[in-house]
């Protein structure tokens, strides 16, 4: 009988019966894996995050990330990485070395920069302003979240989901409310994956058929742009350098994200001489960073952290932020159209989010449904790319005020 009892104690069944939370988390990991693998919702991130959740909740696996106060030795002293690995396992080592330091989101931004083409934005610079209007959801939900009981730091982390930018949401949360990292990352990436559902829904509710039929190319013919770019390559090389310097003067806290984005973009635009750097930034480095980011963020989602009323608040609040951001962009276009001769398709406002290029592709498909000759992709990309800059600036503002 004693042997059986010892066997039972050796297994994890006793713990699971006493505390069934991890079982629920394993089920959630299963759902996320299904969404990533079968439904292909942001699989590059959702699969590592889901597997991180799985690893963190395997009983006795020591793969769950422990709260920061356990590594705090007091008097602003912390356990070193060797001690963390020895005491709490390799997942905590990775989390505190790569995530808690804020290292991986800027690294991913560098890769995003190396994959970004500022060309469409430079050709339609005026449309960039709609990327600012689409950040409205961030600051509105911040207000609502505080009203329903979130602390300002938690509310800031929740609200940044409205920027529709995964690395930005993660970076802001690391700085402001690291204990909410798991649910916020999941919400941010889930809503980004749901862009093809959310944008058409908001557009249907807010735009008329006449507005959606506004043909941008026809408008360009009627009112041609003042300056034609004669040497696009030179403009594309100068742009990230000048912009990086100027933004750093105004919002210094956005430099880690935007600076790396612009560096990645610069090495891409220089061309053949820095091709290897650009390929490394957008390929192996970004892929490795994505794997570790996904796994470690997933590993923060232990049952004690995730099964909380705040998680529901984050999921609902994230959706509201996202929806207000899309509506904010559309609203700004509508206001602009009231006063300008050269009308703009409101779909361009709807893509002021930072979900590049999915938001633009979805908007283009909607435009083509109403008019098969109305290709708005290039125009949408202008506000879409400026949305990346806008959400990083919004994150910088939140961090400098609340951090």
Residues near other proteins (CB under 8 A): 121-122, 125-126, 128-129, 131-133, 135-136, 138-140, 142-143, 146-147, 151-152, 155-156, 227-231, 233-235, 238-239, 242-243, 246-247, 250-251, 386, 389-390, 393-394, 397-398, 401-402
- Those residues whose C-beta lies under 8 Å from the C-beta of residue 88, and which sit 6 or more positions away, are 62, 66, 70, 71
Q: For 150-200, what is the HEC assignment?
A: CCHHHHHHHHHHHHCCHHHHHHHHHHHCHHHHHHHHHHHHHHHHCHHHHHH
Q: Which tokens sit at 73? A: 């030795």
Cα separation, 354 vs 356, in Å, equals: 6
Element (H or E) spanning 218, and its range?
helix 216-222
Read off the tokens for 131.
Answer: 């990327």
Phi then psi for residue 19, to 5 deg, are: -135, 90
Tokens, residue 92: 């905590």
The values of phi and psi at residue 71, to 5°, are -100, 0
The residue assigned the tokens 């402001």 is 176
> Which three-class secondary structure state does DSSP give residue 47?
helix
- 261, 110 contact by CB (below 8 A): yes
| Minimum distance from residue 306 beta carbon to other proteins (Å) | 25
Alpha helices in 194-308 (DSSP H): 195-206, 209-212, 216-222, 232-250, 255-270, 275-282, 284-299, 303-306
Contacts 24+ apart (CB under 8 A), 336-344: 337/211, 341/223, 342/219, 342/222, 342/223, 343/214, 343/219, 344/127, 344/130, 344/214, 344/216, 344/219, 344/379
Q: Please answer whether residues 32 and 53 qualify as being in contact, where contact means their C-beta atoms are separated by less than 8 angstroms.
A: yes
CA distance 138 to 157: 9
Residue nearer to other proteins on the CB measure, 228 or 373: 228
């Amino acid at each position: 009988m004693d042997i059986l009892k010892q066997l039972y104690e050796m297994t994890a069944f006793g713990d699971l019966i006493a505390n069934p939370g991890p079982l629920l988390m394993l089920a959630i990991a299963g759902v996320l894996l299904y969404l990533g693998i079968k439904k292909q919702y942001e699989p590059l991130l959702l699969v590592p995050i889901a597997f991180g959740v799985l690893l963190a909740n395997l009983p006795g696996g020591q793969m769950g990330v422990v709260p920061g106060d356990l590594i705090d030795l007091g008097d602003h002293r912390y356990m070193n990485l060797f001690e963390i690995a020895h005491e709490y396992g390799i997942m905590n080592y990775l989390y505190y070395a790569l995530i808690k330091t804020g290292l991986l989101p800027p690294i991913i931004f560098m890769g995003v920069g190396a994959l970004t083409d500022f060309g469409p934005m430079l050709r339609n610079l005026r449309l960039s302003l709609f990327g600012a209007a689409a950040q409205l959801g961030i600051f509105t939900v911040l207000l609502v979240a505080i009203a329903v009981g979130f602390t300002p730091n938690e509310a800031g982390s929740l609200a940044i989901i409205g920027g529709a930018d995964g690395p930005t949401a993660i970076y802001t949360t690391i700085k402001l409310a690291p204990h909410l990292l798991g649910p916020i990352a999941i919400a941010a990436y889930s809503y980004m994956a749901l862009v093809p559902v959310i944008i058409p829904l908001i557009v249907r509710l807010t735009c008329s058929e006449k507005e959606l039929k506004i043909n941008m190319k026809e408008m360009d013919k009627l009112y041609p742009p003042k300056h034609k770019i004669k040497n696009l390559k030179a403009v594309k090389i100068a742009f990230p350098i000048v912009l990086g310097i100027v933004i750093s003067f105004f919002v210094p806290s956005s430099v880690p994200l935007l600076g790396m984005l612009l560096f990645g973009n610069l090495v891409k635009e220089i061309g053949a001489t820095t091709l290897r750097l650009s390929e490394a930034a957008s390929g192996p480095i970004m892929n490795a960073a994505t794997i570790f980011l996904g796994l470690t963020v997933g590993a923060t989602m232990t049952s004690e952290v995730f099964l909380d009323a705040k998680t529901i608040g984050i999921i609902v609040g994230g959706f509201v932020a996202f929806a207000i951001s899309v509506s904010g962009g559309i609203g700004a276009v509508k206001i602009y159209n009231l006063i300008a001769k050269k009308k703009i398709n409101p779909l361009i406002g709807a893509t002021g989010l930072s979900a590049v290029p999915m938001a633009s592709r979805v908007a283009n498909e909607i435009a083509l449904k109403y008019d098969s000759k109305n290709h708005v992709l290039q125009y949408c990309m202008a506000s879409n790319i400026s949305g990346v800059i806008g959400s990083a600036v919004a994150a910088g503002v939140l961090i400098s005020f609340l951090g």
